[in-house]
Amino acid sequence: MTPELPYGTWPSPITAESVAAASPRIEGARFVDGEVWWGETVPAEGGRTTVRRRLASGAVEEVLPAPWNARSGVHEYGGGAWTALDGGRLAFVEKQDQRVWLLAPGEPPRPLTPAAGDVRYGGLTWQEGRLLAVREDHDGRRRPRRDLVAISTDDDPEVTDLVADSDFLAQPALSPGGHHLAWIAWNHPAMPWDRTELRVGRIEDGTVAEWATVSPDAATAPLQPVWLDEDDLLYVDDPTGRWNLWRMRLSADLDHRPVSPADADTGGPLWTLGPRWYARIDGGRVVAARTNGADELAVIDLESGEATPLPCPAIAGVSVEDASGSRVLVSGAGTDAPAGLWLVDADRPGEIVTVSGGSTPWDAEWNPRAVPVTYDGPHGPVHAFAYPPTNPDHTAPAGEKPPYIVFVHGGPTSHVGGAASAKIGYWTSRGIGVIDVNYGGSSGYGRAYRERLLGQWGVVDVDDVVAAVRGLADAGLADPDRLAIAGGSAGGWTVLCALYRSDVFGAGISRYGVADLRALARDTHDFESRYLDGMVGPLPEAEELYLERSPLSHLDRLTTPLLIEQGLEDRVVPPSQSEALRNALAEKGVPHAYLPFEDEGHGFRRAETIVRTLEAELSFLGQVFGFDPPGVERLELD
């Protein structure tokens, strides 16, 4: 007979340390001379990003040794911090100085870009024998200047300006003959999922001599141009409300036509410069990710538009990193794998090779299975994934209902899929359920769902998470008196707004959350400096609304116990937001704890931080909800 223990007290092999070890991020991958190279964060080494390679023999070696750290600061979120060149060479952005460095076999790294103040590089790609990058120049500027550049790799390297002419640029693509450059551009106040432009320029003497916008609709958000030949361009766009593949001929009438229309997204929010949603393979085909709640892969014939499903373990956060022949490298998370990189062959769909990750140190029976759920909310359907308590060795006493945590993703324009997560397993294996909500404003369900949040941040997101967790409780699946809510960044904002706008939650966990909209608009970085124009309204016209929505304006209604976690190097949501919240809670006598972390920015990468936060959160919920979790140090509440 399975032993009975109260929810929240079940012993589990999924320790905070094992979660930290199972939490690396895949940061790009490439085929290189018969090998596979990929970037991967190393939580045990302060979260640095290394580059590794898998030899033909299957052995794995490190390409970028410690202490080098491939991490870009462009847009603060980075992306594209390394790429492979011919001859087994590696170009990478070093985190400490943001310069581009070159590592050749048998040689130490050498800089390719000058030491020139606060100048950052990202989105590195090697195309047609040229190293391309996005350059972001902050030096002495109120707002940074960005352009696309080419970086030479010879003994006397130089940086060549290619094109600027917009607030933001991304995803440069050189045509096969090197005569044209395509790229994505956008300007304030738009975000790159609102409105972007597909531009094409003519290359003359190594730089862009003239350019034109070739995307046909000013109200869409084209992404990821890829040349098929010198005059044939593939890209994704969403004039139908879904990001789908489109094809364009460089001709007098700029003929655009859809390739394979689908009620799913091949594309997503361009938060970083790294993600790729499709790759060209041989036989006139592409392999594309398609998202409608969960992710799947499809092989698409470019002439007929026929799409054939391609099996892959990854079902969430899928990026089609690179292609060679009929093979593709795919990163993401799977049903049983928190993060992984797989080699998938379109011509041999059953032969899948796990390159990195793809497993956990505990047995699969400990991993909760995501249950897709949809609840009716006041603004329309609310999509989520529920993860019930899962422990093969223990059950709860008859009649007891489990506590649940609502996970609120950041962004807010982001998305979660129903994949395995070591952090979710940490909770569910102890008898605490999780519901991960894609509230209105999330990507992965089309533009209309994404735009539900326009002007309504702090309203729609709150109503949707409340509707989701009430749906669980009304179905008898969760204890209505033991509901918590946790989120980071924009998710932290929703946590705080939910605590003052509803009485559903008995505890909250805010990780570097937004508490004051006016302060955020004043202090945040340039990439998101006009984000609130769409989510709330432009300043100064909407200042009263900024005040009305901000949690710090409603301290009289913030009475729920709260755990606050903050990276002290955060430039996106500065520590002043969390500190103001802490001071207000202390003055009111609301039970709380404040955990600041040195050497952490916007998102926690260090193993010791991951361990500390998980154990503190478990102790916090145990104290609030009346259970005694074994094996964790008691968190002192103020």
Residue 283 sits in the same domain as residue 385: no
Place of tokens 């991490």: 71
Residue 579 sits in the same domain as residue 498: yes
Q: Return the CATH number at 427.
A: 3.40.50.1820
Residue 268 is assigned to a structural domain of this protein: no
Residue 235 is assigned to a structural domain of this protein: no
Render pLDDT for 20-49 as a digit per residue (tens, 0 to 9). Answer: 887 678 999 999 999 999 999 998 898 899
Residue 49 pLDDT:
96
Residue 458 sits in the same domain as residue 578: yes
Looking at the DSSP assignment, which residues form a beta bridge with residue 48?
Answer: 42
Residue 460 sits in the same domain as residue 347: no
DSSP annotation of 453 reads G
Residue 630 is assigned to a structural domain of this protein: no
Q: How many domains does the chain have?
A: 2
The parent domain of residue 331 ranges over: 276-359
Q: Return the CATH number at 323.
A: 2.40.10
Residue 445 pLDDT:
97
Residue 22 is assigned to a structural domain of this protein: no
Measured distance CA(5)–CA(1) in Å, rounded: 13
Report how far apart, in Å, the C-alpha atoms of 336 and of each of 393, 424, 562 are.
19, 12, 32
Report how far apart, in Å, the C-alpha atoms of 52 and of each of 28, 103, 108, 300, 343 are.
11, 13, 16, 30, 15
Residue 379 sits in the same domain as residue 346: no
Domain stop point among 331, 359, 387: 359
CA proximity to 304, closest of 332, 319, 334, 283: 283
Overall average pLDDT of the 438-443 stretch: 97
Residue 588 sits in the same domain as residue 462: yes
Residue 336 sits in the same domain as residue 377: no
Residue 454 pLDDT:
97
Residue 400 is assigned to a structural domain of this protein: yes
Residue 125 is assigned to a structural domain of this protein: no
Residue 399 sits in the same domain as residue 329: no
More confident residue, 452 or 606: 452
Render pLDDT for 373-427 as a digit per residue (tens, 0 to 9). Answer: 999 999 999 999 999 999 999 999 999 999 999 999 999 999 999 987 889 999 9
Measured distance CA(117)–CA(571) in Å, rounded: 18
Render pLDDT for 499-521 as a digit per residue (tens, 0 to 9). Answer: 999 999 999 999 999 999 999 89
Residue 420 sits in the same domain as residue 331: no
Domain stop point among 359, 379, 406: 359
Residue 282 sits in the same domain as residue 427: no
Residue 337 sits in the same domain as residue 378: no
- Number of other CB atoms surrounding residue 439 within 10 Å: 29
Measured distance CA(135)–CA(486) in Å, rounded: 35
Residue 204 is assigned to a structural domain of this protein: no
Residue 530 pLDDT:
95
Residue 328 is assigned to a structural domain of this protein: yes
Of the given ranges (187-191, 339-343, 550-554, 604-608), which has the lowest mean pLDDT? 604-608
Residue 605 pLDDT:
82
Residue 46 pLDDT:
86
Q: What is the CA radius of gyration of the chain?
A: 24
pTM confidence score: 0.94
Measured distance CA(100)–CA(86) in Å, rounded: 16
Render pLDDT for 140-183 as a digit per residue (tens, 0 to 9). Answer: 777 999 999 999 999 889 999 999 999 999 999 999 999 999 99
Exposure string over 398-414, b if 16+ CB within 10 A, otherwise e: eeebbbbbbbbbbbbbb
Residue 431 sits in the same domain as residue 512: yes
Domain stop point among 338, 359, 380: 359
Residue 23 pLDDT:
67
Q: 604 pLDDT exceeds 90? A: no
Exposure string over 575-609, b if 16+ CB within 10 A, otherwise e: bebbbebbebbeeeebbbbbbebeebbbbbbbbbb
Confidence of residue 338 (pLDDT cuts 50, 70, 90): confident
